[in-house]
């Protein structure tokens, strides 16, 4: 049934319209860092993302737990952790012009692991969770 429609001369007239040429977008200008990052193989880039994300996640956990113990500066540690978790991956992504999605996931997993470990240490040592 479809073959008859494809061979129909009426359809051939509709397909005879001139095709618009495909224009390739101009190559974007990349600096040295962006070129270096683009040239990394995918597996190596994923490894760097995971390591960087894990380091940022552990840093956020440290800021939340260590500075959270002080009444005077505890709020600043929380604010710094939130700012790091929200904005640093986006800034890195814009700077290197390559996706850092795996790094974001590693950040969240490392932060969750830090918080669960800290909670486990608190429970084992007998520290009350709610004062």
Q: Give residue-wise pLDDT tens across range 11-31.
A: 555 555 556 767 655 567 878
Report, as an integer, the average pLDDT of 57-80: 89
Q: Is residue 100 a part of any domain in this protein?
A: yes
Q: For 75-106, give the DSSP string.
A: HHHHHHHHHHHHHHHHHHHHHHTS--HHHHHH
Q: Residue 70: pLDDT band by 50, 70, 90 thresholds? A: confident
Residue 123 lies in a domain: yes
Q: Are 49 and 41 in contact (CB under 8 A)?
A: no
Q: Is residue 52 part of a domain?
A: yes
Q: 93 and 30 in contact (C-beta within 8 Å)?
A: no
**Predicted local confidence at residue 125, as pLDDT:** 93
Asked if residue 12 is part of any domain, the answer here is: no
Q: Give the percent of the chain with pLDDT over 70.
A: 79
Higher pLDDT, 109 or 69: 109
Query: Is the pTM for the entire model greater than 0.75?
Result: no
Count of domains forming the chain: 1
| Number of other CB atoms surrounding residue 125 within 10 Å | 7
- 50-68 pLDDT, tens per residue? 999 999 999 999 999 988 7
Kindly state whether residue 30 falls inside one of the protein's structural domains: no
- Distance CA(72)–CA(98), nearest Å, equals 39
Range of 110's domain?
A: 44-131
Does residue 88 fall inside a structural domain?
Answer: yes
């Amino acid at each position: 049934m479809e073959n008859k429609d494809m061979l129909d001369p009426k359809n051939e007239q509709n397909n005879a319209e001139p095709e618009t040429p495909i224009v390739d977008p101009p190559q974007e200008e990349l600096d040295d860092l962006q070129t270096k990052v683009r040239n990394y193989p995918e597996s190596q880039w994923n490894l760097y993302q995971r390591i960087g994300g894990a380091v940022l996640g552990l840093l956020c956990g440290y800021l939340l737990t260590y500075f959270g113990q002080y009444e005077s500066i505890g709020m600043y540690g929380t604010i710094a952790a939130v700012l790091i978790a929200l904005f640093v991956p986006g800034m890195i992504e814009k700077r290197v012009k390559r996706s850092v999605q795996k790094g974001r996931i590693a950040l969240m997993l490392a932060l969750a692991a830090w918080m669960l470990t800290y909670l486990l240490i608190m429970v084992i040592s007998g520290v009350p969770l709610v004062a």
